[in-house]
């Protein structure tokens, strides 16, 4: 089903290459005259943030070497390739330039085209006089770049605008020879993607690139590299182990490489899962999802919030600006697995249903926040808040994919998310806005799950402070925040508060520390003015009114409730309100 959906996307998407062609990053154009003399070496890459970015061009794809060379040195491309093949340099250089010339002769050598003849003359001359390469590179001031890397080259005649491989007569001859080659390919008994019978068989799948953490040369979704995985009687005949037609294989691999491309607006990185998404027809969600889940660019910090507003409006009206509510939408998560690519998650649903599930995710995350906290929380920011030092490399394995699956399928969030948020809060003695949002979302989904099996339903946690919430752990979190506030007002400018010393113990073993903290509270209240002391004493009494005793131990979900109670009460102290539980004399604003 995944491959079929990708094939349909290829058929409806604009700008994707036809069979036999591929988009590859090109670094230089070798400009030749009709005799094959090099007139110039033009750089076509762009400079971005101190790095040279290759320019995508449409080039012939005569085999899988268009995406990934083997180590043989004999799999050259047609009229374009890395400098090591064009110039015959580096390891197996003689084999490479010989293969490059041989490929041209076998595919278009009898065409009699001026451009092809110029390339053959250039390479033949270089093969005969390899010492002429160094002065050539020096003359055009590219020696240093060619010494550092193996750039991709194409050719152009000085009298032409397009590259030699794109000249009409060359293109026509190439495509004619390609069709003849396909006619000699073994036939597919029954294509697993299209169901077609008797079509040319794809012997190998084109490699998939740009999967984060995968091999830079690319990897496969469908492949066989050991006898144990092969069908009986089909040893080393990979195409017959999973028969897929040549056209279908080209279509789905081209579509997936396009979606995963570096400039693609239809991919985001979710932990270790490279996630792509597309619809059966052009649709708003194709451009909204990266803004909803991805980190907004620095020059457009409101992009995520704007996408969220558009999503809510579409759900409210039941209509999208582009695309129908019933349009099928697909989300695919990929992760590296040795030489292959593993499917981390796959979800397909009508666009409106998927939009409602995404809305529920953001509703679950909604919680009181400071004036400098963003309304929209990207998935990266949520996951990074649970990682050591907030670094992407430290995000727990598989967590991103598990969270994304929970969002797309409207399931409970994984237990590892709760554990990570609680553990980071304890380790850093801080309940940050993203962590508080995670804890509220996780607990509310868990409450909804358990309420389905209960006659007396439990109330969900509110975005703001809920003074009526009777949960002991939530109350103790509020109490801890209140005791910290009393200490801060009694001794302004403290380098460390009770949070720095006692948060971990208070949130896990309350009985061990709260009696000590309540004794300290009496000392701190003596430093406040009488009115403020009475106000805070009343607040402590109100919080403890439903707490019968301090628990010996709080389970992980209760530690999450403790953190939320602490966070809510801290937010309330910095929010102007007439309620005694919220009011503060100095009307501080959270920084």
Same domain, 29 and 163: yes
Q: What are the Cα distances from residue 64, in Å, to 70, 287, 502?
A: 9, 31, 60
427 in any annotated domain:
no
Neighbours of 440 (CB within 10 A): 25
Higher pLDDT, 201 or 132: 132
pLDDT attached to residue 63: 85
Average of per-residue pLDDT values in the chain: 89
Given a cut of 80, whether residue 95 has pLDDT beyond it is yes
Q: What is the mean pLDDT of residues 459-476?
A: 93
Q: What is the mean pLDDT of residues 360-381?
A: 92
pLDDT attached to residue 278: 94
pLDDT attached to residue 238: 59
370 in any annotated domain:
no
Per-residue tokens: 372: 């400098």
The residue among 179, 208, 227 that closes a domain is 179
Given a cut of 80, whether residue 586 has pLDDT beyond it is no
Same domain, 127 and 80: yes
Same domain, 32 and 168: yes
547 in any annotated domain:
yes
CA–CA dist 416, 425 (Å, integer): 14
157 in any annotated domain:
yes
Given a cut of 80, whether residue 239 has pLDDT beyond it is no
241 in any annotated domain:
yes
Same domain, 33 and 108: yes
CA 464 to chain CA centroid, Å, is 31
pLDDT attached to residue 235: 63
The residue among 264, 293, 309 that closes a domain is 264
pLDDT attached to residue 572: 93
Same domain, 170 and 189: no
pLDDT band at 591 (very low <50, low <70, confident <90, very high): very low
Helix (H) or strand (E) holding 511: none
Q: What is the mean pLDDT of residues 60-89?
A: 92
Same domain, 100 and 128: yes
**Which stretches of 89-204 are assigned E, i.e. beta strand?**
152-157, 187-188, 199-200
447 in any annotated domain:
no
pLDDT attached to residue 233: 67
pLDDT attached to residue 546: 81
pLDDT band at 494 (very low <50, low <70, confident <90, very high): confident
Phi/psi at 527 (5° precision)? -90, -10
Q: Which of 343, 324, 321, 322 is nearest to 332 (CA)?
A: 343
The residue among 204, 230, 264 that closes a domain is 264
pLDDT band at 221 (very low <50, low <70, confident <90, very high): confident
49 in any annotated domain:
yes
Same domain, 41 and 164: yes
Same domain, 39 and 167: yes
Same domain, 109 and 238: no
Pick from 467-471, 525-529, 580-584: least confident: 580-584
351 in any annotated domain:
no
Report how many domains make up the chain.
3
pLDDT tens for residues 417-454?
999 999 999 999 999 999 999 999 999 999 999 888 87
Q: Of the spans 26-30, 395-399, 579-583, which averages the highest pLDDT? A: 26-30
pLDDT tens for residues 530-583?
999 999 999 999 999 888 889 999 999 999 999 999 999 999 998 754 444 444
Q: Which residues contact 236 (CB under 8 A, 6 or more apart)?
A: 230
pLDDT attached to residue 526: 86
pLDDT band at 93 (very low <50, low <70, confident <90, very high): very high
Q: What is the mean pLDDT of residues 190-219?
A: 84
Same domain, 497 and 519: yes
pLDDT band at 122 (very low <50, low <70, confident <90, very high): very high
Q: What percent of the chain has pLDDT over 90?
A: 59
Same domain, 45 and 72: yes
Place of tokens 């995406």: 67
* Strand order across the 267-270 sheet: 267-270, 273-279, 328-337, 340-350
Same domain, 38 and 160: yes
Helix (H, G, I), strand (E, B) or coil at 35: coil
Residue 80 β-bridge partners: 154
pLDDT attached to residue 578: 40
CA–CA dist 403, 260 (Å, integer): 20
Q: Are 127 and 104 in contact (CB under 8 A)?
A: no
CA–CA dist 565, 464 (Å, integer): 10
Given a cut of 80, whether residue 589 has pLDDT beyond it is no
Q: Are 254 and 208 in contact (CB under 8 A)?
A: no
pLDDT band at 590 (very low <50, low <70, confident <90, very high): very low
pLDDT attached to residue 576: 56
CA 273 to chain CA centroid, Å, is 6
Given a cut of 80, whether residue 461 has pLDDT beyond it is yes
Pick from 182-186, 281-285, 357-361: least confident: 182-186
Tell me the residue range of the domain where 229 lies.
Answer: 185-264
């Amino acid at each position: 089903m995944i491959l079929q959906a990708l094939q349909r996307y290829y058929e409806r998407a604009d700008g994707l290459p036809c069979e036999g062609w591929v988009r590859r990053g090109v670094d230089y154009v070798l400009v030749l005259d009709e005799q094959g003399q090099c007139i110039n070496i033009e750089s076509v890459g762009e400079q971005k943030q101190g790095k040279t970015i290759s320019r995508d061009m449409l080039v012939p794809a005569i085999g899988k070497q268009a995406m990934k060379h083997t180590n043989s040195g004999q799999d050259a491309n047609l009229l374009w390739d890395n400098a090591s093949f064009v110039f015959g340099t580096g390891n197996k250089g003689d084999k490479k330039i010989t293969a490059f010339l041989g490929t041209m002769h076998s595919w278009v050598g009898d065409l009699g085209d001026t451009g092809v003849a110029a390339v053959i003359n250039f390479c033949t001359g270089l093969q005969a006089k390899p010492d002429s390469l160094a002065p050539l590179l020096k003359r055009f001031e590219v020696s240093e770049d060619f010494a550092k890397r193996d750039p991709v080259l194409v050719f152009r005649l000085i009298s032409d605008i397009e590259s030699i491989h794109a000249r009409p007569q060359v293109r026509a001859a190439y495509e004619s020879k390609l069709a003849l080659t396909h006619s000699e390919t073994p036939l597919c008994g029954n294509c697993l993607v299209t169901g077609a019978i008797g079509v040319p068989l794809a012997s190998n799948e084109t490699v998939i690139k740009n999967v984060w953490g995968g091999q830079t040369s690319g990897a496969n979704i469908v492949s066989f590299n050991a006898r144990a995985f092969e069908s009986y009687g089909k040893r080393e005949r990979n195409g017959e182990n999973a028969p897929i037609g040549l056209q279908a294989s080209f279509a789905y691999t081209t579509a997936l490489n396009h979606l995963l491309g570096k400039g693609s607006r239809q991919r985001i990185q979710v932990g270790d899962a490279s996630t792509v998404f597309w619809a059966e027809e052009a649709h708003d969600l194709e451009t909204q999802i990266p803004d909803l889940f991805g980190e907004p660019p620095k020059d457009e910090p409101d992009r995520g919030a704007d996408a969220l507003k558009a999503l809510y409006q579409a759900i409210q009206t039941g209509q999208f600006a582009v695309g129908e509510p019933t349009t099928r939408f697909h989300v695919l998560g990929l992760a590296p697995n040795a030489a292959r690519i593993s499917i981390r998650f796959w979800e397909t649903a009508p666009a409106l249903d998927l939009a409602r599930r995404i809305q529920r995710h953001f509703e679950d995350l909604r919680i009181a926040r400071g004036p400098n906290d963003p309304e929209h929380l990207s998935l990266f920011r949520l996951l990074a808040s649970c990682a050591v030092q907030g670094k992407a490399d430290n995000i727990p394995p598989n967590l991103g994919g598990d969270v994304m699956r929970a969002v797309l399928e409207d399931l409970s969030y994984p237990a590892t998310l709760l554990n990570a948020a609680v553990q980071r809060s304890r380790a850093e003695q801080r309940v940050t806005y993203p962590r508080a949002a995670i804890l509220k979302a996780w607990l509310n989904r868990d409450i909804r799950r358990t309420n389905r099996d209960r006659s007396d339903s439990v109330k969900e946690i509110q975005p703001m402070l809920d003074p009526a919430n009777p949960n002991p752990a939530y109350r103790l979190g509020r109490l801890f925040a209140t005791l910290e506030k009393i200490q801060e007002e009694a001794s302004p400018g403290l380098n460390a508060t009770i949070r720095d010393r006692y948060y971990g113990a208070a949130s896990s073993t309350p009985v061990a520390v709260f009696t000590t903290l309540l004794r300290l509270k009496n000392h701190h209240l003596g430093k406040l003015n009488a009115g403020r002391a009475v106000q805070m004493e009343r607040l402590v009494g109100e919080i403890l009114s439903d707490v019968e005793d301090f628990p010996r131990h709080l389970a992980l979900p209760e530690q999450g409730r403790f953190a939320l109670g602490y966070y809510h009460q801290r937010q309330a102290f910095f929010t102007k309100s007439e309620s005694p539980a919220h009011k503060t004399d100095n009307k501080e604003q959270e920084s």
